[in-house]
Amino acid sequence: MKKNRESGGFLPLTRAEMEERGWEAPDFVYVSGDAYTDHPSFGAAIISRVLEDAGFRVAILAQPDFSDCTAFLEFGRPRLGFLVSAGNIDSMVAHYTVAKKRRSYDYYTPGGKTGKRPDRACIVYSNRIREAYGDVPIILGGIEASLRRFSHYDYWDNRVRNSLLIDSGADILTYGMGENILLRIAALLERGVPVKKIRDVRGSVWVGKVGDKIHYPVAAEFDSSVLKTDKEKYAEAFGIQYRNQDAINGRAIVEYYGDRMLVQNPPMPPLERKELDHVYSLPYMRTYHPSYEKEGGVPAIAEVKFSLTHNRGCFGGCNFCALAFHQGRTVRSRSEESVIAEAKLLTSLPDFKGYIHDVGGPTANFRNPACEKQLKDGVCPSRKCLVPTPCKNLRVDHSEYMHLIESVESLPGVKKVFIRSGIRFDYLMADRDDSFFRKMIKDNISGQLKVAPEHCSADVLSCMGKPTWEVYESFRSKYFELCRRMGKDQYIIPYLMSSHPGSTLNDAIELALYMKKDHCTPEQVQDFYPTPGTASTVMYYTGINPLTMKKVHVATEPEEKRLQRALLQYNRKENAAAVRKALRIAGREDLIGFGEGCLVRPEERRQEQRKPTEEKKISKTPVGKRRNAKKKTGRS
């Protein structure tokens, strides 16, 4: 293994580029469902640069033709193995909307074209590699592998599928943030350890025969055939998996597939500050490979090119979010010096205009673990840090984050720094010192702040793992009061979700009434999307909250989901019929009418008797005044 980085520039994307470096073969071929973008917001870029930094030769096989195995022969047989990832997001989520319709645009493909990666990319890529090279080591990683490492409910097939490691035929699956996991695996392969014998690496999943040695204490064992047929057992299994995703207190978990045994080792500890700083100091080219220029480039770079990631992990605990199963619930962050060094680098780029688009991460205003206890004992298996109320041990402090932003703002060439990734507003409200709150409103918002209350129903918010609506209202009131004091005409854009488990038609009506009272007309509403690896997806499939084992109402029928969504956009003319139907089903016909508190007017035929009078009034109004009247109505 060579210990020195060989040359600058992009890693080889073709055999010709590899041969320019004088390589006969790479140590690893990284197969990705995304186009090659060498930026630290892309998992493939981080892993490949970390391995390069350790002295390994890595070639990139980005979006290969998957119709046969020919494209997988591009670099020849790698010396140590193939690394396989579907890309930055699950391939099924990348390809399909929540309505299971094909998307028409792919942000991770040149020109936004679709069809460049297969459905279930990790399985297809692994099969093609086996066709080409037989028993070459295959190591899975990335979000698709991470969230499908156990038997999992698949929304698109509407059934529980096997672990991705079983269905792909790969040798090892890595989950979570993979830098140290892959460095450990690469070192063992370099020493000549057969891939089938690598079974003790934290953060990895392996398959053996029943009775094989397991290197860690086991939390639970499950039969995959039972998980596919017994929803209560499936929910119970997820709850145990969730409570064992901490590097300090997590234990191994076993699933049986006939005479085979799948073992998830406990998580790899998160990268500490010095390690994170090093990862972000590596020589990324910070853009897509130049070969994509003729196709219009890779759209995904636009959002992140001038953004800074300062943290990892999230103790927010939203049940519909996959972070708990991937990055984990304990937060780590980069040093101020590391972030400033990257900011300085951004200011030197030729197309930098003076604006840092974000200093954020999974949750922008988290910098450290939630409490000192987490550093010793790990995250609490059965207690969340912020909900239903903030834990008494929660350490709330925005001073470090505020100083970091101020330091970036002070750099020559920086005109403004924005905060665009999620702000956890309940954490913000728990801070007795509102210095950061005031500073954010004054300097770091581009006219509107996006936050995620998601719903107003107490039952729904409980199922979501979100704070109560009263917390959001307190935040909202304080936000607008501070804006008023500062003379700022700024707004809040609330993210709202329809049809989340726990939400009934009455809950959707409650939210619609609140929005009407608040004069809120959301342009976009997110239907709940049951993606792998979340507690909310388990609720959707089983009707059971896996963290409490209590039953919840679930809107699984397309018609109920359509009606809930329509209620959240009750003011749209095209939704009027659906809103009326929903209100009648719920016994709320009192909300159909012309009154101030009504959500929708009656059908047109019921208005016919009113039309002559209205038309007579309008006919007496001069044309100019009529136009002005319409404008005023539109603004209200």
* pLDDT for 622 beyond 50: no
Helix (H) / strand (E) element for 252: namely strand 252-257
Measured CA to CA, the distance from residue 252 to residue 478 in angstroms comes to: 45
Helix (H) / strand (E) element for 494: namely strand 491-498
- Residue 608: what pLDDT? 43
pLDDT tens sequence across 134-179: 999 999 999 999 999 999 999 999 999 999 999 999 999 999 999 9
- Residue 629: what pLDDT? 35
Q: With contact defined as beta carbons under 8 Å apart, do 538 and 238 qualify? A: yes
What is the residue extent of each domain of the chain? 15-201, 306-446, 606-635
Measured CA to CA, the distance from residue 151 to residue 300 in angstroms comes to: 31
The three-state (H, E, C) secondary structure of 290-355, written as one string: HHHHHHCCCCCHHHHCCEEECEECCCCCCCCCCHHHCCCCCCEECCHHHHHHHHHHHHCCCCCCCE
* Mean pLDDT along residues 587-591: 96
- Residue 625: what pLDDT? 37
Q: How many other CB atoms are found less than 10 A from the CB of residue 561?
A: 18
What is the greatest pairwise CA distance in the chain?
92
Q: With contact defined as beta carbons under 8 Å apart, do 522 and 494 qualify? A: yes
Kindly write down the DSSP assignment for every residue of 390-432, as one continuous string.
--TT-----HHHHHHHHHHHTSTT--EE---SPP-HHHHHT-S
Measured CA to CA, the distance from residue 244 to residue 218 in angstroms comes to: 10
- Residue 6: what pLDDT? 54
- Residue 605: what pLDDT? 64
- Residue 263: what pLDDT? 98
How many residues make up the chain in this entry? Answer: 636
Tokens of 97: 């909307």
The rounded mean pLDDT for the chain is: 92
* Mean pLDDT along residues 481-490: 94
Helix (H, G, I), strand (E, B) or coil at 47: helix
* pLDDT for 436 beyond 60: yes
Measured CA to CA, the distance from residue 89 to residue 235 in angstroms comes to: 24
pLDDT band at 26 (very low <50, low <70, confident <90, very high): very high
Nearest Cα residue to 364 out of 341, 342, 338, 333: 333
The three-state (H, E, C) secondary structure of 176-245, written as one string: CCCHHHHHHHHHHHHCCCCHHHCCCCCCEEEEEECCCCCCCCEEEEEEHHHHCCCHHHHHHHHHHHHCCC
* pLDDT for 634 beyond 80: no
pLDDT tens sequence across 418-429: 998 889 999 999
pLDDT band at 7 (very low <50, low <70, confident <90, very high): low
pLDDT band at 446 (very low <50, low <70, confident <90, very high): confident
Nearest Cα residue to 378 out of 266, 532, 240: 266
Give CA separation, 154 vs 90, 107, 533, 554, in Å.
12, 23, 10, 16
Record the pTM.
0.91
Q: Check if CATH label 3.30.465.10 holds for domain 15-201.
A: no
pLDDT band at 619 (very low <50, low <70, confident <90, very high): very low
pLDDT band at 612 (very low <50, low <70, confident <90, very high): very low
pLDDT tens sequence across 181-215: 999 999 999 999 999 999 999 999 999 999 999 99
* pLDDT for 624 beyond 90: no
Q: With contact defined as beta carbons under 8 Å apart, do 431 and 396 qualify? A: yes
Bridge-partner residues for 85, per DSSP? 32
Peptide bond into 388 cis (omega under 30): yes
pLDDT tens sequence across 211-263: 999 999 999 999 999 999 999 999 999 999 999 999 999 999 999 999 999 99
* pLDDT for 66 beyond 70: yes
- Residue 569: what pLDDT? 92
Q: Which CATH number is 306-446's, of 2.30.110.10, 3.30.750.210, 1.10.10.10, 3.20.80.10?
A: 3.30.750.210
- Residue 150: what pLDDT? 98
* Mean pLDDT along residues 78-100: 97
- Residue 304: what pLDDT? 95
Bridge-partner residues for 222, per DSSP? 255
Percentage above 70 pLDDT, the chain? 94
Bridge-partner residues for 311, per DSSP? 333
Cα dihedral 372→378→382→385 (10° resolution): 30
Tell me the HSE value of 425 on the side-chain side, using a 13 A CA sphere. Answer: 24
- Residue 621: what pLDDT? 35
227: buried, middle or exposed (CB in 10 Å: 19+, 13-18, 0-12)?
Answer: buried
pLDDT tens sequence across 8-23: 799 999 999 999 999 9
pLDDT tens sequence across 487-534: 999 989 889 999 999 999 999 999 999 999 888 877 678 999 999 999
Helix (H) / strand (E) element for 62: namely strand 58-62
Q: How many other CB atoms are found less than 10 A from the CB of residue 457?
A: 22
Q: Which residue would you say has higher pLDDT here, 361 or 607?
A: 361
pLDDT tens sequence across 301-313: 999 999 999 999 9
* Mean pLDDT along residues 54-66: 98
